[in-house]
Amino acid sequence: MRSLNDTELTNSRRKLGALEALCRTKAQETGGDEELRDMTLQSLQRLINQLKEEIARSQAHHLTPQ
């Protein structure tokens, strides 16, 4: 897997912040289909975790002397 360049890393961090905000908003919602909300939150959490891993891998790669 390749590491992210600076622009991609910045964009990934921005996306991560937006997904975390969306996840908080969805978690606070009431009413509607609770099962659908739970599935949506699980999906958002998976995306959040993927972005965090991608960012961490990229940062570790940039810190490793070459």
Q: Work out the angle at residue 13's Cα, subtended by the Cα atoms of residues 22 and 60, and round it to the nearest 5 degrees.
A: 135
pLDDT score recorded for residue 18: 98
**CA distance linking residue 64 with residue 51, whole number of Å:** 20
**CA distance linking residue 16 with residue 47, whole number of Å:** 8
- Long-range Cβ contact pairs of 33-39 (< 8 A, separation 24 or more): none
**CA distance linking residue 7 with residue 61, whole number of Å:** 15
pTM of the shown model: 0.85
Tens digit of each residue's pLDDT, the chain (66 residues): 677 888 999 999 999 999 999 999 999 999 999 999 999 999 999 999 999 999 999 988 877 665
